Amino acid sequence: MYEDKTLVCKDCGNEFVFTAGEQEFHASKGFVNEPLRCKDCRDARKGAARGGRQLYTAVCAACGGEAKVPFQPKEDRPVYCSECFAKMKEEA
């Protein structure tokens, strides 16, 4: 029913693909307009609207890897990377 479409970004002028799956998702949500911007430009606009959300670097309490979080980590509370946090949610 849907076919991939190549669109031109309103901001950067680059072409991007509006996939059949994305079109189906838009239709299921009741959206009638096609996207005007590519993913990179949409993400940039969202970041600017949020005031350039600051991310903090911490050490994951589970694996010891780097974790980027949108809050100032405190010494008395553990911080987890995305992967370890997702594993913890699955186990709960």
The angle at the Cα of 17, spanning 14 to 21, to the nearest 5 degrees, equals 155
Q: How confident is the model at residue 45 (pLDDT cuts 50, 70, 90)?
A: confident
pTM: 0.52
Over residues 67-79, the pLDDT tens digits come to 988 889 998 999 9
- At residue 54, the pLDDT reads 80
Tokens of 34: 């096609």
pLDDT at 44 over 80: yes
Domain ranges of the chain: 5-49, 56-91
Res 42 pLDDT > 70: yes
- Please tell me the total number of residues recorded for the chain in this structure: 92
